[in-house]
A = this chain, B = another copy of it.
Amino acid sequence: MSRRDGRANDEPRGLELSPGFHRLAEGSCLARAGGTVVLCTASIDESVPKFLEGKGVGWLTAEYQMHPRANPQRREARDGRGKAPSGRTQEIQRLIGRALRAAFDLDALGARTLAVDCDVLEADGGTRTTSVTGGFVAAALAVAKLTRDGRLDRPVIRDQVAAISVGHVRGELMLDLAYDEDSGARVDLNLVATRLGSIVEVQGTAEGVAVPRADVDRMIDLGLQGVSLLAARQAEALAGAGVALDALVVPRA
């Protein structure tokens, strides 16, 4: 079976990361993965949420928003306008926040907040994973700026983090699903992991019929392989923007 765009089953979509696309944010990245486009901005705020006040530690929070024309048909109402964002939106932005918090040492960040906005301009599957992958680049740029400005006294980046989806589609395992692949998948698994293969978050859901344990194992294997490829692209993009990741990362004990 071949994929619509000619990719091999274990091949992620082309990923273009454009650091600095947004000029006001401390860090930003326009991430294009196939037909999916996400504008990620990372903003620094010199305060922390109530529950952290006075503790001297930092916070990272994320927001996820679909542009009304992110899909082939325009959505009549902007999600969350005049009412609460949908359950899906909230679930996704909570995931992005958790994923990126794993990448940064919030103690080392100090009493400030990194707010990462992921605005999906065009959607063709994998918007949450592309948000994590692009969001990491935006946040790393913001941290690099803090470092350049002499406002950090020790490394803040703990791990390079990226995300990818894996699906069980018509009897085959496929990496980095496009929208039409995703909607036909029997199982859909999203994996957030570090460059070296440790797991930050795994979410796998069988649509309809439960899946054997062995299938889940193979999906995680494939996902880790994909994250490793994406992480290389992140490092290249940051290097292109003058940021050497290694210098920013917390040395391992």
Contact = CB atoms under 8 A, between A and B. Distances in A.
Interface of A: 22-25, 35, 37, 39, 41, 43, 45, 63, 65, 67-74, 78, 80-85, 87-88, 90-91, 93-94, 98, 101-102, 115, 117, 119, 121-122, 158-159, 161, 193-194, 197-206, 208-213, 216-217, 220, 224
Number of copies: 6
Interface majority SS (helix, strand, loop, mixed), chain A: mixed
Contact of A78 (B80, B98, B199): B80
8 contacts: A23-B35, A68-B115, A90-B91, A194-B210, A201-B204, A202-B216, A203-B203, A213-B224
B72 A24 contact: yes
A95 to B, nearest CB: 9
A205 B201 contact: yes
A26 B202 CA distance: 36
B41 A205 contact: no
B117 A67 contact: yes
B210 A193 contact: yes
A69 B24 contact: yes
Nearest to A113: B74
Given A43-B74, A63-B68, A82-B85, 9 more contacts: A22-B69, A22-B122, A24-B69, A78-B80, A87-B93, A87-B94, A198-B211, A198-B213, A201-B203
Nearest to A45: B74
Given A43-B69, A81-B81, A206-B102, A23 B122 contact: yes
A98 B205 CA distance: 8
Given A63-B78, A81-B81, A208-B101, A24 B71 contact: yes
Nearest to A87: B90
A159 B208 CA distance: 10
A43 B69 CA distance: 7
A122 B168 CA distance: 38
B206 A203 contact: no
Contacts of A213: 197-199, 220, 224
